[in-house]
Amino acid sequence: MSYQRVLLKLSGEALMGNLGYGIDPAVVAEIAQEVADVVKSGVQVAIVVGGGNIFRGMKASAAGMDRATADYIGMIATVMNAMTLQDALERIGIANRLQTAISMQEVAEPYIRRRAIRHLEKGRVVIFGAGSGNPFFTTDTTAALRAAEIDAEIIFKATKVDGIYDADPKGNPDAHRYQSLTYNHVLTHELKVMDSTAIALCKENDIPILVFDLSVSGNIMRATKGETVGTIVGGNCEVI
């Protein structure tokens, strides 16, 4: 099946390419072009971006920083990434709006659900920054939350791997890549797809999740057309 409204979850690491830290403008430009191609095909696209390439709240918390403070810093990092992506889209003529869960009126709109949906209906890409606006929640959970709020048909989790495995494929050459999974299997076996809160939200709202390799050119477009890329997680899926 093909999709008309999707939510694309980008990790902060996806924006840094092969760099050890920060943002690779060339990689961001490539992602923007892929999104542009999808938008031009008539698909409505919303994006949630992480901030792990700049700052990781949980890592800082483990080192002694107050968890809430660390998470707020991480939220600000996601806005930096979101602004970079916004600029890349604008430079190739793709209309978009950046909405943040923390008020930053000089650089972005506040997150307003109805306004976000209206932007999508007008063919604009909507980029959600600053996570959910609350500490102790990941951007994966934000992706599940926003997808439910805007009635997205599916979440595309674009990563550096080509799907979900039963073990780390880098350390285990015999690791099995799943074609499809149920929410319960992911939760029960603690597979590292998204955090458990995000998976539970998707299960409750029946939002499928497609995990695929972002580095393969054209994968986002293929995913919107319902082609087999990566691993899909859903309530009606079989464990294969």
Residue 137 labelled as part of a binding site: yes
Residue 93 labelled as part of a binding site: no
Read off the CATH number of the domain in which 222 is found.
3.40.1160.10
Residue 139 labelled as part of a binding site: yes
Residue 56 labelled as part of a binding site: yes
Residue 120 labelled as part of a binding site: no
Closest CA to 127 of 75, 77, 85: 85
Residue 188 labelled as part of a binding site: no
In a domain, 127, yes or no: yes
- Asked whether 201 and 141 are in contact (CB, 8 A), the reply is yes
Residue 178 labelled as part of a binding site: no
Residue 78 labelled as part of a binding site: no
Two tokens, residue 12: 């902060």
- pTM comes to 0.94
Number of domains in the chain: 1
Closest CA to 48 of 12, 14, 9, 78: 9
Domain span at 58: 5-233
Residue 141 labelled as part of a binding site: no
Residue 11 labelled as part of a binding site: yes
Q: How far apart are CA 116 and CA 126, in angstroms?
A: 7
Residue 71 labelled as part of a binding site: yes
Residue 173 labelled as part of a binding site: no
In a domain, 238, yes or no: no
In a domain, 240, yes or no: no
DSSP 14-73: HHHTTSSSS--HHHHHHHHHHHHHHHHTT-EEEEEE--TTT--HHHHHHTTS-HHHHHHH
In a domain, 239, yes or no: no
pLDDT tens for the chain, residues 1 to 240: 789 999 999 999 889 888 889 999 999 999 999 999 999 999 999 999 999 899 887 788 888 899 999 999 999 999 999 999 999 999 999 999 999 999 999 999 999 999 999 999 999 999 999 999 999 999 999 999 999 999 999 999 998 889 999 888 888 888 889 999 999 999 999 898 899 999 999 999 999 999 999 989 999 999 999 998 999 999 888 888
Rounded to the nearest 5°, which phi and psi values hold at 73?
-65, -40
Residue 52 labelled as part of a binding site: yes
H or E stretch including 185?
Answer: helix 183-188
The number of helices, as runs of H, and strands, as runs of E, in the chain is: 9, 9
Sign (positive/negative) of CA torsion 56, 31, 155, 79? positive
In a domain, 110, yes or no: yes
Residue 136 labelled as part of a binding site: yes
In a domain, 101, yes or no: yes
Residue 210 labelled as part of a binding site: no
Q: Are strands 231-233 and 209-213 parallel, antiparallel or unpaired?
A: antiparallel
